[in-house]
Structures are given as C-alpha cells and as structure tokens.
C-alpha cells in the first residue's frame, strides 16, 4: 500500500536550529510556542567545543516548555525541549535522543544537517524542520531530507534574519519551504504540528540507505553502505580535515555535498571556506619555515666569516637572502588571500542590509 493511502499521522517532532545570531532567534521562537505544544522539540546551535553550554538555562527562562540539555538515550517526550550539547551531534532516533561523537559536518558538531536528517529518517512526515539565522549553509541539506520524507519545512525569512545566509541556502534547497519572519514563525510551526492534511512523498530505497549511513556516521559508527561502499562517488577533491578522498553526494535540486570515507561532510559552499583555511594554514607553515631557514643561514654566514671562510660565508648569505625574498612573497600572498576572504565575508554580511 502506498504511504499516501495510509491515515495521516500527527506531526510530533519539531527540530530547529541556527548559527550566528541564533541565540536571540531561538529565544524568540521558543517563547512563541504554546506551553501545551503536542510535540517534542530538539534544538541544535553551532557551539564552541571547549566550554559548557549555558543555552538550556537561557532558553528555559523564556520558554513555557520544559527545557533540558540533551542526554544520550533519553526518551523523546512531547512538551520537552532537548538542547544539543557542545562537541556532539544531536540525533533523533525512534522515540529516543542520541548524542553522537561522529565527524564534523560543515565544520560543526553539533550540525543542524545531522539533526534534520535524522528526524526525517526516523519520523518521516511526522517531523517539522526549522532553519533560523546563520552563516553559510548548514541546515540546507537536512531540510531537503525533511521535505523528501514528507515533513514540514519552515525557514526564517532571510530579510528578517540577522544573518540571512543559512535561510537563503535552505530556501534554495527547498523552494517549497514556508518562509516567515521570526515573529510569525512559531505560529507557523504550531500550524504544521496541528495540520491534518499534507503530502507524503516516498523516498527511494537508495535514498533511505544513504540517509541511514549518514546518520550512523554522526553517531560514530561505520558510515559505509551495506555493500561496503562509501556514500557518493569519488571526486578530485581531498577532505580538509583528514586528507582523504571526498565523495560527491548530489541530492535533488542540484544540492551538491561531499563526504569522505570516515564521515567528514561538507556542502560545496562550506568546502570552499574550509579549503581557504587549509591554504592559509599551509602558507603560514611555509612562511615560518622560510623565516627559520633565513635565520639559520644568516647565523652560518656570520660563523663562517668569523672563521675566515669567506666563500662559505658568501654562500650562506645568498641562501639567507633567498629565504627572505621568498618569505616576503609569501607575506604578500597571505595578505591578498586574507583580503579576499574578508571581502567575501563583508559581502555575506552585506546581505543583511546593515
């Protein structure tokens, strides 16, 4: 029997997240939810990995629902907000909250893509996904999976977001998503939870196997498919995290992602950013080596001259001069690289209209 012919289930899992500007956006979004919301709520915000998160306490002060820090294996209860912890992925399983130490996705752990994808896989049309303000495009691929499984897709209106990059990317990935300003987004979520009629698309078995493998990866388990192959097809690019081959993973609507065999995952946009960081690190390493080489050569030149070895002294002085010249070229390249990166960041920030 087709899924579309079955009774329509209640939507009872609401997953939401953001990045830059996300704390204030989450406070306002959760404050707008009713105290008797008939759904469990899971929240993922990009968090630093080295310090305890104060987010559950911050959100509890403005939200009528119970707010807790996510605990691995806890029951996914209606009327409870489970908040992701730093440095672990928040995963929705069948009736449970899971915390995963798997590789970072889009440079983040927790990643919103992980949370949304797991909710889509576990709850299908019963899930509601929400993408709020933030930089780059984490959440876009995950919201695409929410829509693919028949869940409701909601996005903060980019014109209303402090940082519109994540909402814009989410809308590009899911053009059918409902967009609304933050003041109205909570009610849109409530309406999606209460909806009694909606489409129920059926993902292909291949899509489901791929989603299962990607969720296993977030949990720190073997990310290979049942046949032992990695998700996606090999690309010419290397993983910025581990140096392994990146496989291209293409969703519908041309949403291109990359994933290495151990599970590091990137959208095309975040891959470009990560490659820029890798280039800068390599340039600084080369600059340090050249400066040290010049200093050592200069010392050898002085020592040789003091001992009357003019030929050796002249040789080492040339080596020192070559190293200094090369170092100066690298400083110029670094300055141009950082200037270009700043211009790109200013362009993204300029999209806010501020």
What digits encode the pLDDT tens for the residues 242-261? 888 999 988 766 678 899 98
Supply the pTM of this predicted model: 0.79
The Cα 41–Cα 155 span in angstroms is 16
Six-digit token string for 170? 């989410």
User: Could you state, in order of their start, the residue ranges of all structural domains in the chain?
Assistant: 9-194, 276-350
User: Which has more pLDDT, 53 or 344?
Assistant: 53
At 51 the pLDDT is: 65
Which of 19, 153, 186, 304 is an active site residue? Answer: 19
**Cβ–Cβ under 8 Å, residues 51 and 80:** no
In this prediction, residue 278 has a pLDDT band, given cuts at 50, 70 and 90, of: low
At 110 the pLDDT is: 96
19 is a catalytic site residue: yes
Q: Where are the beta strands (DSSP E) in 70-214?
A: 80-83, 89-92, 97-100, 127-131, 152-156, 178-180
Q: What is the mean pLDDT of residues 69-84?
A: 96
46 is a catalytic site residue: yes
Beta pairing, strands 80-83 & 66-69: parallel
The Cα 235–Cα 73 span in angstroms is 36
Lowest-confidence pick of 32-46, 48-62, 201-215: 48-62
Cα 195 to the center of its chain, rounded Å: 29
Q: What is the mean pLDDT of residues 37-65?
A: 90
Phi/psi for 314 (5° steps) reads: -65, -40
Which residue from 65, 216, 33 is spatially nearest to 130, judged by alpha carbons?
A: 33
At 18 the pLDDT is: 96
Pick the CATH number of 9-194 from 3.40.50.300, 3.40.50.180, 3.40.50.720, 3.40.50.2300: 3.40.50.180
Q: What is the mean pLDDT of residues 132-158?
A: 95
Which of 113, 137, 138, 211 is an active site residue? Answer: 138
Six-digit token string for 105? 């996705």
Lowest-confidence pick of 108-117, 149-158, 204-213, 334-343: 334-343
The Cα 315–Cα 297 span in angstroms is 9
Tell whether the torsion through CA atoms of 49, 54, 58 and 60 is positive or negative. Answer: positive
In this prediction, residue 270 has a pLDDT band, given cuts at 50, 70 and 90, of: confident
In this prediction, residue 43 has a pLDDT band, given cuts at 50, 70 and 90, of: very high
Asked if pLDDT for residue 208 goes beyond 80, the answer is yes
Q: What is the mean pLDDT of residues 231-250?
A: 88
In this prediction, residue 177 has a pLDDT band, given cuts at 50, 70 and 90, of: very high
Which of 46, 82, 89, 264 is an active site residue? Answer: 46
The Cα 131–Cα 44 span in angstroms is 10
């Amino acid at each position: 029997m087709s899924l579309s012919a079955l009774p329509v289930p209640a939507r009872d899992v609401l997953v939401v997240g953001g990045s830059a500007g996300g704390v204030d956006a989450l406070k306002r979004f959760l404050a707008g939810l009713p105290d008797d919301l008939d759904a469990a709520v899971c929240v993922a915000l990009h968090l630093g990995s080295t310090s305890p998160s104060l987010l559950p306490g911050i959100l509890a002060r403005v939200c009528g629902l119970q707010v807790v820090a996510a605990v691995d294996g806890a029951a996914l209860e209606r009327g409870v907000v489970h908040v992701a912890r730093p440095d672990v992925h928040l995963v929705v399983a069948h009736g449970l909250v899971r915390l995963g130490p798997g590789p970072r996705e889009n440079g983040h752990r927790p990643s919103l893509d992980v949370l949304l994808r797991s909710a889509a896989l576990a709850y299908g049309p019963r899930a509601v996904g929400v993408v709020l303000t933030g930089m780059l495009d984490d959440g876009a691929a995950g919201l695409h999976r929410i829509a693919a499984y028949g869940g409701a897709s909601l996005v903060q209106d980019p014109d209303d977001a402090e940082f519109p990059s994540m909402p814009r990317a989410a809308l590009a990935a899911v053009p059918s998503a409902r967009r609304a300003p933050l003041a109205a987004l909570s009610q849109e979520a409530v309406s999606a939870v209460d909806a009694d009629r909606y489409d129920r698309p059926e993902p292909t078995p291949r899509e489901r196997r791929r989603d299962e493998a990607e969720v296993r990866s977030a949990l720190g388990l073997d990310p290979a498919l049942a046949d032992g192959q990695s998700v996606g097809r090999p690309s010419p690019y290397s993983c910025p995290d581990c140096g392994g081959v990146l496989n291209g993973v293409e969703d519908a609507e041309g949403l291109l992602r990359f994933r290495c065999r151990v599970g590091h995952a990137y959208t095309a946009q975040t891959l470009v950013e990560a490659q820029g960081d890798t280039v800068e690190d390599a340039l600084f390493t080369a600059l340090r080596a050249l400066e040290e080489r010049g200093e050592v050569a200069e010392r050898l030149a002085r020592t040789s001259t003091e001992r009357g070895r003019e030929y050796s002294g002249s040789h080492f002085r040339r080596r020192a001069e070559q190293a200094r010249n090369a170092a100066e070229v690298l400083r110029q390249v670094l300055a141009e690289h950082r200037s270009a990166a700043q211009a790109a960041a200013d362009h993204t920030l300029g999209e806010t209209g501020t």
